């Protein structure tokens, strides 16, 4: 495609699922390019949650091209996801009035518990639909959906895999890959991170550090609800891909989550 850059720039594709990310190189200068990124990126840059946005422009082909500061760094390791730096950045994301305002302006939609349940049941195989544990959990989740007011929904990243956290060489932490961003109960993000990386016995301690106060019983209930629906969605995803070992491991994890809590 025509990137419409000045002469001397070499464009190199960066591996990824979408095929829309590139590194542009000109002598010792590097920038990160991406096609058709949401205009929400500008607000994320202002809040210093993503690397600095340099410019954004429309190409001859009609695509939107954005350029960001290229930062040498690395993704976080799994054992770094419990760090104070992670919880601080996530708290800033979930409590930014600017980000919430901007996401609404660019058409961001609210994502409710009912939406997650619909996503799980849509196209669900008979094998999973009839599985005793999965059937019991999904039935209870339908009955006990969190009732947080939509006015309290916040910007949620939606995919807090450790590979989506960028730690620069200077020690600055960023969140990248915003394709799944949505307005939702912050417990949606929190449960994703905690289920994957925080030992169950440390959940309350991690939340106390995130919220700067002891989590309420109501907050724990919401996190437990989202933790279970997220596990159901991962189980469904692994089943559809034929990754049955991973699916069975997640079913075991789901049974442990139920065992270690007052099952909503």
Give the per-residue SS3 of 198-259: CCHHHHHHHHHHHHCCCCCHHHHHHHHHHHHHHHHHHHHHHHHHCCHHHHHHHHHHHHHHHH
Same domain, 244 and 176: yes
Burial of 162 (0-12, 13-18, 19+ CB in 10 A): middle
**Active-site residue identified among 2, 159, 185, 189:** 159
Residue with tokens 């054992």: 79
- Domain end residue (candidates: 70, 92, 120): 70
Same domain, 203 and 109: yes
Q: What is the pTM of this model?
A: 0.86
Dump pLDDT digits (tens) for 44-82: 999 999 999 988 887 777 778 788 899 889 999 999 999
Dump pLDDT digits (tens) for 225-239: 999 999 999 999 999
Q: Which domain holds residue 178?
A: 75-259
Same domain, 190 and 93: yes
Burial of 47 (0-12, 13-18, 19+ CB in 10 A): middle
Same domain, 17 and 109: no
Same domain, 122 and 215: yes
Q: Among 2-11, 29-38, 223-232, whose mean pLDDT is lowest?
A: 2-11
The model's confidence at residue 242, banded by pLDDT at 50, 70 and 90, is very high
- Domain end residue (candidates: 20, 49, 70): 70
- Domain end residue (candidates: 52, 70, 88): 70
Is 159 an active-site residue?
Answer: yes
CATH code, domain carrying 22: 3.30.200
2 within some domain: no
Q: Domain count for the chain, please give it.
A: 2
Q: Among 5-14, 27-36, 187-196, whose mean pLDDT is lowest?
A: 5-14
């Amino acid at each position: 495609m025509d990137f419409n850059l000045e002469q001397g720039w070499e464009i190199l594709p960066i591996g990824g699922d979408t095929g829309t990310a590139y590194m542009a190189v000109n002598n010792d200068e590097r920038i990160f390019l991406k096609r058709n990124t949401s205009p929400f990126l500008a607000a994320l840059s202002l809040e210093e949650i993503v690397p600095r946005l340099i410019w954004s422009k429309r190409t001859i082909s009609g695509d939107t091209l954005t350029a960001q500061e290229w930062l040498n760094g690395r993704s976080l390791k799994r054992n770094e996801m419990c760090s104070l730096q992670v919880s601080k950045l996530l708290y800033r994301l979930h409590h930014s009035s600017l980000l919430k305002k901007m996401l609404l302006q660019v058409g961001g939609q609210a994502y409710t518990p009912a939406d997650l349940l619909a996503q799980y049941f849509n196209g669900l195989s008979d094998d999973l639909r009839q599985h005793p544990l999965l059937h019991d959990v999904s039935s209870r989740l339908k009955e006990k959906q969190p009732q947080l007011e939509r006015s309290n929904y916040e910007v949620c990243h939606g995919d807090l895999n450790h590979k989506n956290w960028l730690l620069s060489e200077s020690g600055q932490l960023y969140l990248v890959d915003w394709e799944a961003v949505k307005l939702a109960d912050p417990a949606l993000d929190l449960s994703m991170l905690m289920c994957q990386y925080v030992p169950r016995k440390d959940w309350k301690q991690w939340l106390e550090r995130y919220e700067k106060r002891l989590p309420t019983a109501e907050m724990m209930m919401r996190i437990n609800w989202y933790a279970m629906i997220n596990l159901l969605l991962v189980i469904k995803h692994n089943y559809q891909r034929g990754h049955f070992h991973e699916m069975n491991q997640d079913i075991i994890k789901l049974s442990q989550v139920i065992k270690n809590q007052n099952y909503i």
